[in-house]
Amino acid sequence: MTSTTLSAPASASTPERTSPNRGPAAARARRKRILHWIAVHSVAIAVALLFLLPFVFVFLTSVMSDSQAMSGDLWPDSWHWSNYKAVFETPGFLDWWRNSLMYAGLGTLFTVCSAIPVAYALAKFRFRGRRTAMLLVISTMMLPPQVIVIPMYLVWAQQFHLSGTLWPLIIPMAFGDAYSIFLLRQFLLTIPKEYIESAKVDGCGEFRTMVKIVVPMAKPGIAAIALFQFFYCWNDYFGPQIYAAQNPGAWTLSYGLESFKSAHAVNWNMTMAATLLVMAPVIIVFFFAQKAFVEGVTLTGVKG
């Protein structure tokens, strides 16, 4: 873990090269620097401990015996790895995995495919109403999902009879997700016009230019929106609660986890094992794709 870095830029200040220590002033400056180093790193270690301890406690509890998990002990007497096996054997748990993967996988695919042309047009075409379109995209992005959920639910349930499935959540993603469009557009703005113009000089149509020139150059941006959408779907609780609640066969991991806790009301060890299993994919994906992820986070806030 120590070798991983979260983002490319090096930290703000590098130790300046000083002339060989001579005289009391230099010694004082050096002592001050060392004290500063110690102070900053002690604070950082303390904060890092606070951030990581929850994971440690959750893990330690997940391998305790049933009775010890209720006792308030911090360290397991004996290591019950079979808790994890038992979690996987819980009825429904594997279905929740499959549903989560389907929701997140298809949702991500649809989002990426629909966001690319829209973001491209908003970033590179000049047309009347472009600014208005951007304002509308941002407004949608800012809208709490609860504002429109009731009519949407009524349509999906009463006209299409799709309640009890995840399709009402997946299908809309084929029609552009505002957040992904916004983020990708911000990224596409950084691609110089010259590339697009020279492709056109070479006789490329707008669509081919997008597919052959822009998409390859926008890979980091596309990776970022794909990751965000994957995590959004994986973590989503409200959506599956609205559409899948009445059909346990359609529950996702995020939604099922809470029912898991209810079914194992006293078994904190099993619950913590399941909790770690829900967290694991996200954290594993992060370690493989952290650069794209951090770039995306930065893009939302800084470039614009």
Which 186-215 positions form the footprint of another protein (CB under 8 A)? 186, 189, 206
CB atoms within 10 A of CB 6: 10
Residue 19 Cβ vs another protein, minimum distance, rounded to whole Å: 18
84-113 positions binding another protein, by CB under 8 A: none
Q: What's the CA gap between 86 and 95, in Å, rounded?
A: 15
Residue 75 Cβ vs another protein, minimum distance, rounded to whole Å: 10
**303 CA to centre of own chain:** 19
Task: Point out which span in 23-31, 131-139, 193-201, 215-223 binds another protein (CB under 8 A).
Answer: 131-139
Interface pick for another protein out of 86, 102, 138, 215 (rule CB under 8 A): 138
As a whole number of Å, the end-to-end CA separation of the chain is 32
Residue 115 Cβ vs another protein, minimum distance, rounded to whole Å: 8
Q: What's the CA gap between 98 and 248, in Å, rounded?
A: 13
Q: What's the CA gap between 112 and 95, in Å, rounded?
A: 25
Residue 193 Cβ vs another protein, minimum distance, rounded to whole Å: 13
Task: Tell me whether residue 63 or residue 137 sits nearer to another protein (CB atom).
Answer: 137
Tokens of 272: 């913590």
- With beta carbons less than 8 A apart as the criterion, state whether 274 and 295 touch: no
Q: What's the CA gap between 8 and 220, in Å, rounded?
A: 13
- Report CA-CA distances (Å) from 204 to 114, 172, 196, 198, 208: 21, 31, 9, 9, 6
Interface pick for another protein out of 27, 29, 48, 94 (rule CB under 8 A): 48
Residue 22 Cβ vs another protein, minimum distance, rounded to whole Å: 22
Per-residue contact flags (x/-) with another protein for residues 152 to 191, judged by CB under 8 A = xxxx----------------x-xxx----x----x--x--
Residue 143 Cβ vs another protein, minimum distance, rounded to whole Å: 6
Task: Point out which span in 24-32, 47-55, 86-94, 191-199 binds another protein (CB under 8 A).
Answer: 47-55
- Report CA-CA distances (Å) from 123 to 68, 101, 108, 193: 58, 31, 21, 10
215-274 positions binding another protein, by CB under 8 A: 231, 234-235, 237-238, 241-242, 245-246, 251, 253-259, 261-263, 265, 268, 271-272
